[in-house]
Amino acid sequence: MEILPISLLALYLLIAPALGIAAFSWSRRHRDEIARLRRQVQGLTLQIDDLRTAGAGAARERGEAPQAPREEAPPPAAPEAPEPPEPPKPAAPSEPARERAAAPPPRPAAAAAAAGTQAVRQPAAARPGLEQWLASRGLAWLGGGTMALAGVFLVKYSIERGWIGPVVRVSLGFVFGLALVLGGEWLRRRPLQRAIAAIGPNYLPPALTAAGLFAAFASVYAAYGLYDLLPAFVAFALLAAIAFAAFGLALLQGPLIAVLGLLGGFATPLLVSTGTPLPWPLFGYLLVLAAGSLAIVRVTAWWWLAWGTLAGAALWPLLWFAGIFSTGDAVPLGIYLVLLSALFLGVRYGRGASVELVTWKYWFAPLALPEQLAWGAAAAVSVLVFILVRTDGYG
């Protein structure tokens, strides 16, 4: 067992410098990119100001040219009556003014602005290479996975060496996970990380948050399953709270956190057992979990998350039918299936569904994603209701 800590230490010594160098070069590259974009924005702002001043000058010339002859013409026109050619004189200076007014304004600045805009748009078409992918995404997730494994192996190694007691071990693991979650959210709110997220995906904050959620979840389960420090109800409540916290953080840090929350939420009843089947609390919890996940889908339109929710919500009744179904379980299962179908129909509601069923093309048009989800949920619930009726003996 001495090889494990030595190999972990060697792995850490190899990965940590690489992660530091990659993070430094990555942040430096993005800082240079931000400075370049700032300079381009300043140049475009100056060009817009030049266009505004040129337009204001042209408008000023247009407004002053016809008024100048009118001020000079009336005084000599009153005393000198015998001279008839006096009135046509205002027409002579008005012709150049009209030519100047009719002449199109100069457009070199506009052409320069358009050229500058095209120059700004051209670099955006470049696709990220392997080096950029490794620096931005690969090493970020590798670092997050390393932090999560560090928390797990820290607890395991302390157990084997007998350094600290079970309560301290679990507490340290949970605090470590909470610190990673807070660090990921703090890092997401930093100005540099916000600027990076504005340019492209930023994987470092969600990687830290995912590692922290995993460490906290593993610590709570270790306190329940390994050391019997927590009763089943408290452990279930803590694991469910971590799953729902992941749902909340997913709105800020991306879809991977939502996947962790969904997996942890559906796995919690498998990990924590009371010893007696309790269908009402179980399926009530699954309904709340599905509602939380579908609420995220309503906000973010991550339809794949809705399909994952449907798969997990339909799997639990199948497990119940295959294992511990009894006659009195038909009522909670039936209510669960009805409310589950209502939840999935509610995701579709208000998303541009048409109520005009006039032409035959409506029935043969391809379904949008909300309609596909609603029909899939209806089909899954119909199959589960049929299995429920068969399992209950048509009673």
Q: E strands along the chain, which residues?
A: none
Give the separation between CA 327 and CA 277, rounded to whole angstroms.
Answer: 13
- Residue 370 has what pLDDT? 81
Structure confidence at residue 82 (pLDDT):
46
Eight-class DSSP state of 327? G
**124 vs 326: which has the higher pLDDT:** 326
Which pLDDT value is given to residue 276?
86
Nearest partner of 207 among 265, 267, 165, 146, judged by Cα: 146
Q: What is the rounded average pLDDT for all residues in the chain?
A: 75
**Average pLDDT, stretch 71-100?**
47
What's the pLDDT tens digit per position in 204-220? 888 889 999 999 999 99
Confidence of residue 349 (pLDDT cuts 50, 70, 90): low
pLDDT given for residue 67 in this prediction: 47
The yes-or-no verdict on residue 125 having pLDDT over 60 is no
Per-residue pLDDT band for 17 (boundaries 50, 70, 90) equals: low
pLDDT of 222 strictly over 70: yes
Cα–Cα dist 177/216, whole Å = 5
Report, as an integer, the average pLDDT of 20-46.
76
pLDDT at site 36: 86
Residue with more model confidence, 182 or 393: 182
Overall average pLDDT of the 164-177 stretch:
87
DSSP code string of 122-186: GGGGPPP-HHHHIIIIIHHHHHHHHHHHHHHHHHHHHHHHT-S-HHHHHHHHHHHHHHHHHHHHH
Predicted confidence (pLDDT) at residue 305 exceeds the cutoff of 90: yes
Separation between Cα atoms, residue 253 and residue 144, nearest integer Å:
14
SS3 349: coil
pLDDT reading at 66 higher than 50: no
Whether 200 contacts 254, CB under 8 Å: no
Instruction: Give me the phi and psi of 254, to 5 degrees please.
Output: 115, 175
The residue-averaged pLDDT of 292-319 equals: 94
Q: Are 242 and 216 in contact (CB under 8 A)?
A: yes
Token pair in block for residue 166: 């079970």
Q: Does pLDDT of 63 surpass 80?
A: no
* pLDDT at residue 351, rounded to an integer: 53
Rounded to two decimals, what is the model's pTM? Answer: 0.61
Higher pLDDT, 384 or 134: 384
For range 266-290, the mean pLDDT? 93
pLDDT of 333 above 60: yes
Q: What is the pLDDT confidence band of residue 238, given thresholds at 50, 70 and 90? A: very high
> Out of 113-117, 246-250, 262-266, which region has the weakest mean confidence (pLDDT)?
113-117
Confidence band for 393, pLDDT divided at 50, 70 and 90: confident
Identify the pLDDT of residue 118: 47
Return the axis-axis angle of helices 303-322 and 279-300, rounded to nearest 10°: 170
- Judge whether residue 239 has pLDDT over 90: yes
User: What pLDDT is stored for residue 101 in this prediction?
Assistant: 45
What whole-number percentage of the chain has pLDDT above 70?
A: 61
- Look up residue 282 and give its two tokens: 């179980």
27 or 9, which is more confident?
27
User: 275 vs 114, which has greater pLDDT?
Assistant: 275
Over residues 162-175, mean pLDDT: 84
Residue 61 pLDDT more than 50? yes
